[in-house]
Amino acid sequence: MLETFYGYHVVTERPMHLGQHIIFDEYQHSGVYQRVMERKEIVEDIYTNPIKYEKIELDYPVVVALRELALEEIRKKKYPSYPSRLGCLYVSETLHEAEQWADYFVSLGRPTFQIVKLKIAGSRFVGDATKCFYATIDKEENLKLAERYWKNEEQSTDEPPINEILVGGDIEVVEIVKEIQYVSGN
């Protein structure tokens, strides 16, 4: 049985409209999926030939692909009921949290259009964005850190957790809460 709940989403890829439905299931993927899959070949080469990459500084998109593929491997093996980071929306529980994420995205120069309220009939995982690690050429280390992310145990650091809620299923835009219209270079 699917759970129904509400959340707020910062729209960064393209504007959304009231009543819009987004479906994320095992066949529907997000923009993250596309960006990661574009780098899958280099990730495989890194794991096959790590010595070749020991003294090379990896491009950030490759580091992200290494991380996200490790996270997906562990999720499929140990936490299959959780939404995939490669096929989900990231939402906030409160409008205040969404506004903080929007401010962060704008500060990065990321095109940011709206904050929308969503009705979600599906699954969710409440993670801690501080556990999104900087991946390396060491696959075993990446898998260990991926396991830590999905376990989501409290950590003993001074750094407070930053909630990120991953949601999948049938997602409906029920309100356009705030128009931002920030596009980098404007």
Tokens of 77: 């093996």
Q: Which of 153, 148, 160, 21 is nearest to 97 (CA)?
A: 160
pTM above 0.85, yes or no: yes
Q: What secondary structure letter does DSSP report for 54?
A: T
Report pLDDT digits (tens) over 58-117. 999 999 999 999 999 999 999 999 999 999 999 999 999 999 999 999 998 888 899 999
Q: What are phi and psi of 19, to 5 degrees?
A: 85, -5
Chain segment 114-172, per-residue pLDDT in tens: 999 999 999 999 999 889 899 999 999 999 999 999 998 876 667 788 888 999 999 99
For 118, the token pair is 């969503």
Assign a CATH topology to domain 3-182: ADP-ribosylation fold (3.20.170)
Confidence of residue 17 (pLDDT cuts 50, 70, 90): very high
Give the domain ranges of the chain: 3-182
